[in-house]
Structure 1
């Protein structure tokens, strides 16, 4: 009986460690989106959607509202897919267990 209790304790800690590792590796895209957009803008993603416009006093201004719209669209689609896949992942979790649900989630 003591061996069973220690086995369950080790398994509980391994499950906790795996869950924290999954959150660190895969949840950053959704939760760290504002920082990721800043990096993607400096790298030039969707920069083809930026246009030169004439501002006040006939100065040239770079309008990147199209770039911002593209980043918003990417975030919206990623958020929708994340929430939509919770239902099949819950079905897999109920019928096949934690390992299969985690592998499908990754």
Structure 2
């Protein structure tokens, strides 16, 4: 059955390649969060949460602690959901296979 083995090899390679693309596109938002926060701050996301504050010697400073808290909340929720959904995805994977699980995950 050389044709069947060749077909399975192609399927494995395609599964690996598409899985790698999925990880790069979707997991990068969680695991590359430190770099992403820097870019989001430069783009002024949640900049409305920054307020003027009086520092030492009556100097005006910009207090963005509420902005940092918002970014921290987003990371916490994303990390929790990443770990929490492992069990249902495992069930789907065992029950329906790779294709259904990956489509549901996306």
User: What TM-score range do you get, normalising by the shorter chain?
Assistant: over 0.9
Offset of residue 86 of structure 1 = 1.1
Deviations 1:4-42 (A, max 9, x none): 111111111111111111111111101111111111111
TM-score, normalised to structure 1, is 0.94
2:79 is equivalent to residue 64 of structure 1: no
Following the alignment from structure 1 to structure 2, what is the Cα–Cα distance between the partners of residues 27 and 50? 29
Task: State the 4+ residue runs in structure 1 displaced beyond 4 angstroms.
Answer: none
Instruction: Could you tell me which runs of 5 or more consecutive residues in structure 2 were left unpaired when the two chains were aligned.
Output: none
2:6 is equivalent to residue 9 of structure 1: no
Offset of residue 56 of structure 1 = 1.3
Cα RMSD after superposing both structures: 1.0
Following the alignment from structure 2 to structure 1, what is the Cα–Cα distance between the partners of residues 9 and 100? 22
Following the alignment from structure 1 to structure 2, what is the Cα–Cα distance between the partners of residues 43 and 2? 55
Aligned residues, how many? 106
TM-score, normalised to structure 2, is 0.94
Offset of residue 73 of structure 1 = 0.4
